[in-house]
Amino acid sequence: GHGTHCAGITAGTGAPDMVHVGVAPQAQLVGVKVLDSGGSGSFSTVMAGMEWTVDKKHVFNIRAASMSLGGPGAIEWTSSEEESVNRMGNRMMAEGIALFIAAGNNAVSAQIGTPGSAEDVITVGALDKSGSIAVYSSQGPTEEGRIKPNIAFIGSNVNAPDYNTGTGYVSLSGTSMATPGAAGLAALMYQANPDMSPFDVRNIMQETAIYRPCHYDFANEPCAEDLIPKNRQNNVYGHGETRAPESVAEAANYVFGLDMGMNISLQYEPTMDDKVHVGPGEGIDYSLTGDPVEVQWRTWDMRDTWMDLVEHDMGEEEVTITHTMLVDRLNELPDVEIEGNHTILLRSIRGPNASANMVTHIHVMGSEPLIDVEGGSGQGMVAALSFVVLLLAGVIGLLMFILYRNSTLDSNHRIGDFSAKVQDSSSHDANLLDTFQTKLNNSQTGSVADYASMTVAELKDVLKSKGLPFSGRKAELIERLTNEK
């Protein structure tokens, strides 16, 4: 029940009535169980779970982790196991995983235990709905004298999924509820800017937080940190109340300014598993608005970087990420299974500004590319292959006929006569094709000129009505219509 509630706070969809939606409802979750059903366990098991997360970070593209657990601060003074867990927490941050850990619910000073006392991790205190520190939230300093927590997040009376009910929700309170909320915010920040490190995430959250002195709203007696000029952290609130909009905006503006006038939208409805499935010869189509100069894309893997989509020309209203592009890119990332679930991001760029990142969860089918078409339909590939086969058969038949007609000529005349007949046949063939194309165009409802004056969306509607593939650039759509038999 505890894990279900925490998972729902991070990434719950809010189903069925969409009221209690998680902080990052499109985030993908990986469950790592280290405690029993009663909430008890050992530090060795916790350590094993943390090590597993680091080992599998590239398999599942893990960028943030939430740990709503911890041992009492007093044990830390005597336990070498706890010191090892703290070191592992620091290692997770260094390995590229933003680690959020609950401060604890002991309600007094110097009670932040392991692994929340680790130096680099993001330790989370709990706020009530008024923005004041919750009465139960543990306070620093740590046994080593560090000021903790780092930030404070809403943790009181949080509605999230109720275990084993299917559609039920329950309200719970604790730093256990605050921590997955902060981790969900990190997921949104990574969506805005996947190039950030866990330390970037921590620093942005701290810098954009609303500072609260220890005695804010009469929650505590004044503390020594209140006397420090321009102080930014204390042992009650950390750096203060975390602000989600400001944190995401700062992450988005880390390299580019955010231009909401540019937008990228997916042209497909996701399947039942909330993913776009793409196989050999297929692609994923996106619509563009705002006249971007460049379009870039990348995978969610932390080792990947943004790449220019060279297939995009300025002024085009669509772009396509093909199966071949995906396979080629994933092949460059070590130890990545190409077939299976992945996440890709796209962004539009114009000058110093960029659009919000478009995130798509995909399922790649097949690790070897076939002949790709610039569009999402594999039908275009089948039609193209059929046409090529028929054309080759026609050419072979023509050559065999010419050879047969020339078989009675002597060797001195065969070469010249053969060349002349090929030229004559080619000319005759071209005339036949011109005549056929004229008849074909006359039999259709629109001419090439008519199609050229239509928008991409209108062309796609015509193609759909004719049962033809409707993915690709405008020139390809027009060609497909004019070549229709």
Please report the pLDDT score of residue 108 as a whole number. Answer: 83
Domain-embedded: residue 347: yes
- The structural domain count of the chain equals 3
Q: In the numeric block, which tokens belong to residue 474?
A: 């405008």
304/289 same-domain check: yes
Domain-embedded: residue 50: yes
118/263 same-domain check: no
470/335 same-domain check: no
Domain-embedded: residue 407: no
From 253, 275, 296, the end of a domain falls on 253
**Do 240 and 211 meet the contact criterion of CB atoms below 8 Å apart?**
yes
Q: What is the pLDDT of residues 145-167, one digit of tens each?
A: 899 999 999 999 999 999 888 88
Better-predicted residue by pLDDT, 399 or 231: 231
- Name the nearest CA neighbour of 178 among 202, 152, 199: 152
pLDDT bin (cut points 50, 70, 90) of residue 67 is: very high
Please report the pLDDT score of residue 135 as a whole number. Answer: 93
Better-predicted residue by pLDDT, 398 or 69: 69
**pTM of the predicted model as reported, rounded to 2 decimal places:** 0.71
Please report the pLDDT score of residue 457 as a whole number. Answer: 67
We report the CATH number of the domain holding residue 333 as 2.60.40.10
Please report the pLDDT score of residue 37 as a whole number. Answer: 83
We report the CATH number of the domain holding residue 73 as 3.40.50.200
Domain-embedded: residue 379: no
Please report the pLDDT score of residue 316 as a whole number. Answer: 87
Q: What is the pLDDT of residues 41-54, one digit of tens each?
A: 888 899 999 999 99
55/127 same-domain check: yes
241/263 same-domain check: no
Please report the pLDDT score of residue 470 as a whole number. Answer: 67
Q: Is the pLDDT of residue 249 over 60?
A: yes
81/185 same-domain check: yes
Beta-carbon-side half-sphere exposure of residue 103 (alpha carbons within 13 Å)? 40
Q: What is the pLDDT of residues 71-99, one digit of tens each?
A: 765 444 456 777 889 999 999 999 999 99
Q: In the numeric block, which tokens belong to residue 260?
A: 């909401």
Q: What is the pLDDT of residues 162-219, one digit of tens each?
A: 988 888 999 999 999 999 999 999 999 999 999 999 999 999 999 999 988 887 776 6
Residue 168 Cα distances to 1, 353, 375, angstroms: 12, 43, 42
Q: Is the pLDDT of residue 346 over 60?
A: yes
264/358 same-domain check: yes
Mean pLDDT is lowest, of 55-59, 141-145, 295-299, for 141-145
248/265 same-domain check: no
129/212 same-domain check: yes
From 206, 236, 253, the end of a domain falls on 253
Note down the domain range covering 290: 258-364
Domain-embedded: residue 199: yes
Please report the pLDDT score of residue 33 as a whole number. Answer: 93
Q: What is the pLDDT of residues 391-432, one digit of tens each?
A: 444 444 444 444 444 444 344 433 333 333 333 433 444 443
Q: Where are the beta strands (DSSP E) in 155-270?
A: 158-161, 169-172, 257-258, 263-266
Please report the pLDDT score of residue 485 as a whole number. Answer: 54
Domain-embedded: residue 382: no
Domain-embedded: residue 197: yes
Rounded CA gap, 235 and 222, in Å?
11
92/190 same-domain check: yes
Please report the pLDDT score of residue 427 as a whole number. Answer: 43
Rounded CA gap, 188 and 243, in Å?
12
Please report the pLDDT score of residue 440 as a whole number. Answer: 39
Domain-embedded: residue 397: no
249/267 same-domain check: no
Please report the pLDDT score of residue 246 as a whole number. Answer: 96
From 253, 283, 315, the end of a domain falls on 253
206/292 same-domain check: no
- Name the nearest CA neighbour of 12 among 187, 153, 174: 187
